[in-house]
Amino acid sequence: MGSQVLWFLLLLTLTTFCKSKSCHPNDLKGLQDFKAGIHSDTSGRLGKWKNQDCCKWEGILCSNETGRVVQINLPGLYTSGDAPVQSTMVGELSPSITLLNFLEVIDMGELVGLTGEIPPSIGLRLPNLRKLNFLGNKFSGALPESICKLSKLEELYLQENGFSGFLPSCIGGLKNLKRLNINSNKLSGAIPESITSLISLESLCLQDNVLAGNMPENIGNLQGLKELDLSNNSLTGIIPRSISKLNSISTVYLNANQLEGKIPLPSKPGQFSSLRFLRLQNNRLSGTIPASIGYLTSLQRLSLANNQLKGPIPSSIGNLKSLTELYLTYNQFVGQLPRSIGRISQLLLLSISHNMIEGPLPQEISSLSNLQSLDISFNHLNMSAIPKWLKQLPSLSRIYLAGCGIRGEIPDDLQVLAKSLMEIDLSANNLSGRIPAWIGSLSWLYSLNLSKNKFVSEIPSTVTNLGNLGVLDLHSNKLEGSVNAIFQMKSRFEGGSLTYLDLSDNSFSSVIDQIGMGGQENIRHLNLSRNFLRGRLPTSIGTLKSLQTLDLSYNGLGSNLPTSLANVSTLERLMLQKNQFTGRIPEEYSKLKKLKELNLSDNLLEGKIPYGKPFLEFPQSSFSGNRGLCGIPLPPCKA
């Protein structure tokens, strides 16, 4: 009897003890203060933080040995059950977070709405921190100096916030740092020299900042570095040559800065031996491509575009057996393309436009059987004909041969590429003859630019089959007949695929039957200027719901302006000058609030110009030369 009572009492004490079990008071206070600072949590995770045992709270992990909180895992994107949840938290980070002084991991990435600063005492209070993730929030302020004391820190993600100020010069104190990402903030100043002592760093990513100043000389000390991304900043000076000693590095992105001097390349084989991705485009690099480029045998993608590089392309480039993409556009390269180019058998993309490369192109290009995209536009090639080897490239889907000095007609045997071609640019050549009817069989064709040539023909009716066509530029040729086939295109997509149509500066002479009925709802740019088009502008023009630019100037179009055009609320530029439009300007056109450019001059329009925006914003010359327009900005109408 007595023992039963005892057992009961024991059980009672045990349950009460369990009920009132509480985590360490510092941890509890730190987390409660954190919760109090957050006024919105769409995930509802903090709402469940109720009892005193914070070790059981969602997102909290305690150590079995010490009983102290070691991890706070509250990422914005997490899985609940099996479903991914994207949540946000709004509020200010409480500095009490530093009370949790056994913390090893803080993950509050992509919560979007956290504000505040990194607590200045972080380095003293959280000595065990291994990972700090504040990515994608609204944190601000400078990075506190004490951060450098976090000697166990391996991963620091602060990208996409509003941090400002300099990178602390003591950053080199973070001896265990493997990943550092601070891109897209407002940091300024130079990269501190000490960063080069972060010898275990695997990835350094400071892109999209406003970092300015020189790159540190001894960057080559970062021997463990695998990824270096300092792109899209304001870095100046030269690229330290020691960088090529980084033998573990596979990614170097220094593009979009103001770097000068030569391309950093190894002086002997074996250096830079893991390098796979090298982006140096959009800088001010000068000098030539040295023959030692051929040592980079792991290189897969190389971009040197938009610099001031000169000299010939060295034949050692043929040693880059792994190369898949080569971008050399907008430089001053001269000489011929080396024959060794044919040995880069993995090459998918070759882009050398806007240089001064001379012809003839080597026959060896025809062995690049994987090539998908070839851009050789605007060089000094003087090719005279479309090269025969082109049709031996079975994977080719994009060819840009603009400004290559090509004459004569488009050869029929190019049809063999019909199955793969998606983009063709033969503009700014001296091509003549007809646009071949087989163009209509290029069923994947997305973009066709034949502008600035001497084509003399009608638009072949087969274009109605081009169900993927998005961009068609035929301007400045001698094309004639009807434009209507284009507007009957049977698009594979609802609303149409065509976004850009330029038939201007030709000799088209038809009436425009119907626009938009075949589905051109996505067209943004329509230029039919400088032709001999006649008749009225069809009411169906009002169905082009995305139209931004409409240029029908210098034609023979007449009758009234269609009121339906007022429904095209996206319209920004309307050029109808030098036609024979009659009647009044529809009052409804005042609905065109986005209109920035308007020209109705030299028509036969009459009556009062609608008053108010947007008409008030245009000069007299937008309305002059009509039969009887009056009102602002022209002289007042007679009563």
Q: Which residues would be at the binding site for ligand NAG (CB under 6 A)? A: 63-64, 208, 232, 382, 384, 402, 405, 427-430, 449, 451-452, 471, 473, 475-476, 500, 504-505, 527, 529-530, 542, 549, 551, 563-564, 567, 573, 575, 577-578, 599, 601-602, 619, 621-622
Contact 290, 316 (CB under 8 A): no
Which amino acid is present at 400? Y
Measured from the CB atom, the residue of 232 and 292 that comes closer to ligand NAG is: 232
Contacts of 520 by beta carbon, 8 Å cutoff, 6+ apart: 487, 489, 496, 498, 543, 544
Measured from the CB atom, the residue of 141 and 542 that comes closer to ligand NAG is: 542
Measured from the CB atom, the residue of 140 and 567 that comes closer to ligand NAG is: 567
The full DSSP string for 515-574 is: SSTTT-TT--EEE--SS--EEEPPGGGGG-TT--EEE--SSEEEEEPPGGGGG-TT--EE
598 token code pair = 């308007």
Q: How far is the CB of 203 from ligand NAG (least distance, A)?
A: 17
* H/E stretch holding 549: strand 549-551
Matching residue, tokens 């065109």: 592
Q: How far is the CB of 549 from ligand NAG (least distance, A)?
A: 5
The DSSP bridge pattern shows strands 212-214 and 234-236 to be: parallel
Q: How far is the CB of 563 from ligand NAG (least distance, A)?
A: 4
Measured from the CB atom, the residue of 181 and 549 that comes closer to ligand NAG is: 549
Measured from the CB atom, the residue of 196 and 549 that comes closer to ligand NAG is: 549
Cis peptide before 75 (omega within 30 of 0): no
Say which DSSP state 438 is in: G
153 token code pair = 């820190």
146 φ, ψ (degrees, to nearest 5) = -65, -15
Measured from the CB atom, the residue of 195 and 472 that comes closer to ligand NAG is: 472
Measured from the CB atom, the residue of 153 and 472 that comes closer to ligand NAG is: 472
Q: How far is the CB of 461 from ligand NAG (least distance, A)?
A: 23
Euclidean distance between CA atoms 425 and 447, whole angstroms: 8
Q: How far is the CB of 239 from ligand NAG (least distance, A)?
A: 19
Measured from the CB atom, the residue of 309 and 406 that comes closer to ligand NAG is: 406
Q: How far is the CB of 588 from ligand NAG (least distance, A)?
A: 7
Matching residue, tokens 């600063």: 117
Q: How far is the CB of 621 from ligand NAG (least distance, A)?
A: 4
Q: How far is the CB of 180 from ligand NAG (least distance, A)?
A: 18
The region that residue 481 occupies, defined by phi over 0 for left and psi between -120 and 50 for alpha, beta otherwise, is: left
Contacts of 569 by beta carbon, 8 Å cutoff, 6+ apart: 591, 592, 593, 594
Determine the longest span between alpha carbons in the chain, in angstroms: 117
